[in-house]
Homo-oligomer: A and B are copies of this chain.
Amino acid sequence: MKVLITGIDGYSGWALALHLVSRGHEVSGIDNLATRKRVAEVGSHSATPIRTMPERLKAVRKHLGKNIRFRQGDLTDWATVRALIRKEKPDAVVHLGEQRSAPYSMIDVHHAVETQVQNVTSTIHLLYAIKDEVPKAHLVKMGTMGEYGTPNIDIAEGFFEIEYMGRKDRVPYPRQASSFYHWSKIFDSGDVMLANKLWGLAATDVMQGVIYGTRTPEITRDEFLTRFDFDEVWGTALNRFCVQAVLGLPLTPYGKGGQRRGFIALEDSMQSLTLSVENPASAGEYRVFNQFDEAYSVTDLARMVQTIASRKFGLEATIANTYNPRVEAEEHYYNPHHENLLRLGYRHSRTLEASLEEILSDLIRFRSRLEARRHVVMPRMNFRASDNRKPLHIKGKA
């Protein structure tokens, strides 16, 4: 199949490109390289030494004998998006090309606006370009489990049937998010749902859990490494704990640490996205996949990192809860459903324990890169503040 990946230079995008070309798909991609710039903006860098896109493409040609067509460009430019879709005529578009950090969206008013405006504009441009140029193409759009928040009832997969005042209907599951970023993903889901309703666009909306891991079966050499962020703004809690363990710092859950989320290995997220691509939504179908395997609390994660760091690497880490820069429930019910991918044949293949060993091993190799940025791991911002540029040392205009 011809698959276009937006955000191909990103953590998931690059891993997916390698996976899809290895399976024989014809892959093209676009990226504005914004994540590289934005991570630098907050004073950090990827723990893994990632190659430039030209180097990556060259390595794929050399070692896999495959050609990935790449265009550096911005999805907020309509002419770019239309020309790209017109030229590539993809069977599937996997849309990963968005600002993906909740803390980044909370830096100040401009970062909030930038996040929502760019994410929404990019998605609308893709929807119209697909309608105009390849109306039968299948859109696989990256959303987040964070769209659902943490309600006190089970979380359904996108829609649920409820009874209210004696009547029944199947309606969208209520969304309630905790950052301007998370709301931007809800907005995208709404626009995709609309394009499906108006134009019959075939779409898979992926409610992605937190991804962990540095490796997939295709990431076998340094030239193929994907990024791994560990700073407060771009890194997940798990990534930060792993880096803290390697640097001999205490692991620092935010607040009480009872925040539970759904998790999935990078390799299994690629398996899931590939299942979506290879088993597309039907014409006129809008389907939602809750894409994760297991739910863990932040404290669970800290303890697992502590155990594996000690047992396998002799790294002794303490756990020291710290203040919570976010506004979120720190103890709550959490039971999201995830059946739809299993029906497509998805099988959990990679446990968190196994991945943790691999992550820590990679981080120990790249320890000097962590040492050089050890100051970015601890929280400095506060979602309750309207201006977080100063603690992050960002020059700005607000």
The answer to whether A49 has its CB under 8 Å from any CB of chain B is: no
The answer to whether A186 has its CB under 8 Å from any CB of chain B is: yes
Please, what's the 1-or-0 string for A152-168, where 1 marks a CB less than 8 Å from any CB in chain B? Answer: 11101000101111011
A153-B167 Cα distance, complex, nearest whole Å: 5
Tell me the smallest distance from the CB of A214 to a CB of chain B, in Å: 33
Tell me the smallest distance from the CB of A151 to a CB of chain B, in Å: 5
Tell me the smallest distance from the CB of A128 to a CB of chain B, in Å: 4
Give chain A interface residues in 152-201, CB to chain B under 8 Å.
Answer: 152-154, 156, 160, 162-165, 167-169, 171-180, 183, 186-187, 190-191, 193-194, 197-199
Given contacts A153-B168, A167-B154, A386-B131, contact A183 B194 (CB under 8 A): yes
**How many copies of the shown chain assemble into the complex?**
2
A153-B171 Cα distance, complex, nearest whole Å: 9
The answer to whether A113 has its CB under 8 Å from any CB of chain B is: yes
Tell me the smallest distance from the CB of A270 to a CB of chain B, in Å: 30
The stretch among A57-65, A119-127, A299-307, A369-377 that forms the contact with chain B is A119-127
| Size class of the A contact interface (CB-based, 8 Å) | 35 or more
The answer to whether A365 has its CB under 8 Å from any CB of chain B is: no
Cβ-defined partner of A164 (8 Å) among B110, B160, B193, B194: B160
A164 touches B175 (CB 8 A): no
A191 touches B183 (CB 8 A): yes
A171-B155 Cα distance, complex, nearest whole Å: 12
Tell me the smallest distance from the CB of A40 to a CB of chain B, in Å: 24
A152-B113 Cα distance, complex, nearest whole Å: 35
A152-B193 Cα distance, complex, nearest whole Å: 18
A197 touches B178 (CB 8 A): yes
A116-B186 Cα distance, complex, nearest whole Å: 13
The answer to whether A117 has its CB under 8 Å from any CB of chain B is: yes
A313: chain B residues within 8 A (beta carbon): none
A168: chain B residues within 8 A (beta carbon): 152-153
A171-B125 Cα distance, complex, nearest whole Å: 31
A164 touches B153 (CB 8 A): yes
The answer to whether A14 has its CB under 8 Å from any CB of chain B is: no
A113 touches B124 (CB 8 A): yes
Tell me the smallest distance from the CB of A359 to a CB of chain B, in Å: 32
A384 touches B198 (CB 8 A): yes
Which residue of chain B lies nearest to A199 when distances are taken between CB atoms in the complex?
A: B384
A194 touches B179 (CB 8 A): yes
A120: chain B residues within 8 A (beta carbon): 113, 116-117, 120, 187
A398-B79 Cα distance, complex, nearest whole Å: 9
Given contacts A120-B117, A131-B386, A198-B327, contact A186 B190 (CB under 8 A): yes
A176: chain B residues within 8 A (beta carbon): 171-172, 193
Which residue of chain B lies nearest to A182 when distances are taken between CB atoms in the complex?
A: B194
A113: chain B residues within 8 A (beta carbon): 78, 120-121, 124-125
Cβ-defined partner of A191 (8 Å) among B153, B154, B180: B180
The answer to whether A254 has its CB under 8 Å from any CB of chain B is: no
B169 touches A110 (CB 8 A): no
Given contacts A125-B109, A194-B177, A327-B197, contact A165 B154 (CB under 8 A): yes
A194 touches B180 (CB 8 A): yes
Tell me the smallest distance from the CB of A134 to a CB of chain B, in Å: 13
The answer to whether A331 has its CB under 8 Å from any CB of chain B is: no
Known A112-B124, A183-B194; 15 more pairs at CB < 8 Å: A78-B113, A109-B125, A116-B191, A117-B120, A120-B187, A152-B169, A154-B164, A163-B163, A172-B174, A175-B175, A178-B197, A183-B187, A183-B190, A187-B190, A198-B327
